[in-house]
Structure 1
């Protein structure tokens, strides 16, 4: 049997740790997501092993990965706004949105030569050792910031 990095016994323990944490994330988000059902790889394949859902109108994905033995990282990504005019106002809007977020990095991603950008919030944190309630609380703090940042861009007709 081949062994994967971080799995000295070759028994898939690191894969199980990621799957367990991913399941805990999905269960913790099920009651707060906009979707009727949080989509996780165990229910429906979304191609990248992430848990996907909407929160505050923003599409979000949470990805869990093991980066070392006993260290599983959780990465949250939310699209706050699409096709925002990439002009002088974008910087001011980003600054206003950043004031509303405590956890995460907001950035504009230019969309080719069309003169527009998408605004994305990203945040990563270690999930190893977090009990269910602290895990859910931290996720809600990040997602609440994404929803608050989204409100800044709502005036643009998003």
Structure 2
């Protein structure tokens, strides 16, 4: 990664931080990633250069964890994904049950604070809604 692309990724994270701070308390981690909570959903936002000139932001929300292993979580997630949402749902079965994540990766160059905030809030709002559905 060139210094120029690192700078571009840092600038995207700066815009994202400003956008998120309108809604949440945001922490900048040691690696430059942003972390915050949307309600009960912890989220992390990282900047990545996929190829020269293509910087993207990657948002990961931990929707729920330790859901009952004998539940129909994968089927429920597949049905929910078919309804169209911003992001990709993931389910990982652990010794303690199912952990569910929502990831959204997008090219963010050119997005201003308002547009970035709108986009990020669409994703994290979906994550919170899904959490309520899964725990309800």
Superposition TM-score tier, normalisation by shorter sequence: 0.7 to 0.9
1:136 to 98, 117, 120: 117
Distance in 2 between the 1:103 and 1:51 partners?
A: 19
Distance in 2 between the 1:49 and 1:135 partners?
A: 18
CA contact (8 A) 1:73 1:127 kept: yes
**Higher-Rg member (1/2):** 1
Structure 1 residue 154, shift from structure 2 partner: 2.3
Could you tell me which residue of structure 1 aligns to residue 50 of structure 2? 67
Distance in 1 between the 2:18 and 2:83 partners?
A: 26
Matched, 1:57 2:40: yes
Which stretch shifts more, 101-110 or 142-151?
A: 101-110
Distance change in 2, residues 1:146/1:120 (3 Å):
same
Matched, 1:28 2:19: yes
Root mean square deviation, CA, Å = 2.0
Higher relative contact order (CA 8 A, sep 6+): 2
CA contact (8 A) 1:96 1:152 kept: no
Distance change in 2, residues 1:96/1:151 (3 Å):
farther
- How many residues were matched structurally? 136
Distance in 2 between the 1:143 and 1:137 partners?
A: 10
Matched, 1:150 2:131: yes
2:102 to 112, 121, 132: 121
- Could you state the TM-score of these two structures normalised by the residue count of structure 2? 0.87
- Could you state the TM-score of these two structures normalised by the residue count of structure 1? 0.76
Gaps of 5+ in 2: none
Structure 1 residue 101, shift from structure 2 partner: 5.7
Structure 1 residue 65, shift from structure 2 partner: 1.1
Greater share of strand: 2
2:26 to 21, 35, 38: 38
Structure 1 residue 127, shift from structure 2 partner: 0.7
